[in-house]
Structure formats: structure tokens, C-alpha cells
Amino acid sequence: MAKYEIVVIIDGTLTKEQAEDKIKELSMLIRNEPNFSEKAWGLKTLAYPIKAKTSGYYYIYNFETEKTQAINEFRRLALINTSVLRHFIKNIEKDYGYRASINEKKITWSKKQQKNYAHKQAILKTKKAVLAKDAASEITSTDIPIDLTAHEEKDSE
């Protein structure tokens, strides 16, 4: 069974009861799935306006299912419903679980990311060493010519 997480944002201009009615209509498809859990975060201010709205009611669902038809129908109803500002459906098992650990593309991508990170860290370490060396050489350098005559002229005036 695949594990899913769905985040839905309902229009914040609705009352709390209206928003709960809308989300109950929408979530009837997935409520009977195994390990179903629901979290209501309540009314939150959006980071940026969506459909000219600045606030929304957040709902998060976690469940397991093998029925892709239920997920597709939920997506279709969320797109049709004008009260739904945004929805996000995430297959957790595919991206982070066992299936991700045996997916050759994800393994290759992960190794590439690790290699890039190690390379960038080595470059930063080299740059820091060069900067530290330059800073130390500036302090101990006696090659800098100092013109004392300019200071002596100011003192005599």
C-alpha cells in the first residue's frame, strides 16, 4: 500500500463551518482508507495572494491506499471546487520510503547531489584557506612602502 499526504487550502473568506462542510464533501472519498488521519491547522494568512485571497483554512490528510482512482477523483473534485485555493497530493512512499530506496533514478540523483555538495564544500574550504593566507600575509608584510614625509609636513604646520 502506498502512503499519501494531501494538503488542502480552503478559501479564508468562508466561515469555519462552511469551510468544514466543503472539506467534508471533498474528503468523503478518502475517509475510509486505512490509517486515515486528519489535521486541521485552521485559518492562516497566505504567504502570497491566491485567487485574490490572502487567508485560507489548512487541512492535512495522511492515509494509505492502493486505489489510484480515489486519488484521481479527489484531484478532479479539488480542481472543480471553487472554494479550494490549492491542493497538494504527495506519495510519501514513492519519494521517501522503501520504493525510493530501490528506485535507480532516485539513487543516482542522490549520489550526484552528494558529490556536488562535497565539491562545493572543498571549494569553500580552499577559498577560506586562501583568504586566511592573504590576511596573514598583509599583516606581516614589510614590503609596503610608508611615506613618512607626508606626516612630517602636517606636523610642522
Copy the grid coordinates of residue 103. 528506485
The pLDDT confidence band at residue 149, using thresholds 50, 70 and 90, is: low
Contacts of 107 (CB under 8 A, 6+ apart): 101
β-strand partners of 72: none
pLDDT tens across 23-82, in order? Answer: 998 888 888 888 888 999 999 999 999 999 999 999 999 998 888 888 899 999 999 999
Which is higher by pLDDT, 31 or 11? 11
Is the CB of residue 10 less than 8 Å from the CB of residue 85? yes
Which residues does 82 contact at the CB level (< 8 Å), separation at least 6?
11
Is the confidence at residue 140, as pLDDT, over 70? no
pLDDT at residue 8 above 90? yes
**pLDDT tens sequence across 53-62:** 999 999 999 9
pLDDT at 5 (0 to 100): 92
The kind and range of the H/E element at 121 are helix 104-140
For the entire predicted model, the pTM comes to 0.60
